[in-house]
Amino acid sequence: MNKKLAVVALGGNALLRGDQIGTIEEQEQNTTETLENLIFLLNEGYDLVITHGNGPQVGNILMRNDAGEQVYNIAQMPLDICVADSQGGIGYMIERMLRNVLIRHGIKKNVVCLVTQVLVDINDPAFNDPQKRVGKIYTKDQADDLSSRKGWIFREEVKTQGGYRRVVPSPVPVGVMNDSIISCLAREGNIVIAAGGGGVPVYIDSENNVRPAEAVIDKDLASSLLASHIGADEFYILTDVPYIYINYKKPGEEIREFLDYADTLKFLNEGHFAKGSMAPKIQACLNFINSGGKMSVITEAFKLADKRYGSKITMNYEDDRR
């Protein structure tokens, strides 16, 4: 009997909580608590691939970039290198914390982290409409200077303390490089950490060369694509809420623990999920189910092992409800 393969995307407060400043001690503690919740999947015989976000961390790397250039005249690295840096650093942290968790539970498994390139279409309309905010907040004069010197695009921060932040494209992922290797490693029983931060965005040019794209990729969409490509049975998104809600934080708020594809798509199209937060997660889950996945689950990072929590999306939940 073949073992089940699960892809688990760590996001939200799985690595860093909103009220924390982001010290390595805080991140290691949060990561360890999250990884403890994955032990039940291993005990139930699942093979495992772990993906993760990088929003705060890559933002910090970009700010270090700025400070190094301004203070010490150190050449800035492009966005793709910064994303790769964050993949390596976070992946190392997850790998080390997971090894310690496995030791405590008496589980012998290899853990491997792969810096993953994710393919995008250079003709994606997102490249003409950058929306994703990255890096620090600048004054208008600073933003104008950087725009003139580097060609960066900025948008005003109207919801915070003001100022301007750089915006970059967020194209749809179309392929994951080394997905067959990830699948092979996982199905041999190794725990694989891959596609961190949505992966390093790259494209294939007219001469068939791999080229970097100055962009960022949504972590959940990339994780869903990877899960589909490697034939995963189940796809989990760990975030900062225990369920999917209809009318979230509004009159008539309702928990939806079991959802089928059609109802979830209807709720998405009706605008029940916020565009910058839950909507991409819902879309990622639907993409996975539509590609043949058996079940998608969204739940709070520290409640995965508790089956009282979590919203489950299947193609026909009355057939698959558990």
CATH number at residue 88: 3.40.1160.10
- Report the pLDDT value the prediction gives residue 116, as an integer from 0 to 100: 98
Q: Are residues 209 and 261 in the same domain?
A: yes
CA distances (Å), 60 to each of 21, 64, 86, 129, in order?
11, 6, 9, 24
SS3 at position 119: strand
Q: Are residues 65 and 197 in the same domain?
A: yes
- Report the pLDDT value the prediction gives residue 302, as an integer from 0 to 100: 86
Query: Is there a catalytic annotation at residue 132?
Result: yes
Q: Are residues 140 and 203 in the same domain?
A: no
Q: Are residues 50 and 84 in the same domain?
A: yes
* Domain's final residue, options 168, 197, 227: 168
Exactly one of 91, 198, 219, 310 is catalytic; name it: 219
Q: Are residues 47 and 180 in the same domain?
A: yes
Strand 200-204 with 5-10, pairing: unpaired
Angle between helical axes of 219-229 and 179-187 (0-180°, round to 10): 70
Domain count for the chain: 2
Q: Are residues 232 and 84 in the same domain?
A: yes
- Report the pLDDT value the prediction gives residue 162, as an integer from 0 to 100: 81
Q: Are residues 154 and 205 in the same domain?
A: no
Q: Are residues 98 and 242 in the same domain?
A: yes
Residue range(s) defining the domain that contains residue 186: 5-122+176-320
Q: Are residues 72 and 186 in the same domain?
A: yes
- Report the pLDDT value the prediction gives residue 317, as an integer from 0 to 100: 67
Q: Are residues 243 and 147 in the same domain?
A: no
- Report the pLDDT value the prediction gives residue 218, as an integer from 0 to 100: 95
Q: Are residues 273 and 151 in the same domain?
A: no
pLDDT in tens, 139-194: 999 999 989 988 999 999 876 678 998 999 999 999 999 999 999 999 999 999 99
**What burial class does residue 314 get, using C-beta atoms within 10 Å of its C-beta: 0-12 exposed, 13-18 middle, 19+ buried?**
buried
**What burial class does residue 123 get, using C-beta atoms within 10 Å of its C-beta: 0-12 exposed, 13-18 middle, 19+ buried?**
exposed
Exactly one of 54, 91, 132, 287 is catalytic; name it: 132
Query: Is there a catalytic annotation at residue 219?
Result: yes
Query: Is there a catalytic annotation at residue 312?
Result: no
pLDDT along the chain (322 residues), means of 10: 89 78 91 94 96 89 89 94 96 98 98 98 97 87 92 84 89 98 98 97 98 96 98 96 92 94 96 89 98 96 86 80 48
- Report the pLDDT value the prediction gives residue 304, as an integer from 0 to 100: 87
Query: Is there a catalytic annotation at residue 303?
Result: no
Q: Are residues 115 and 141 in the same domain?
A: no
Exactly one of 12, 55, 196, 310 is catalytic; name it: 12
Exactly one of 281, 293, 310, 312 is catalytic; name it: 281
Query: Is there a catalytic annotation at residue 13?
Result: yes
Exactly one of 13, 54, 65, 287 is catalytic; name it: 13
- Report the pLDDT value the prediction gives residue 322, as an integer from 0 to 100: 46
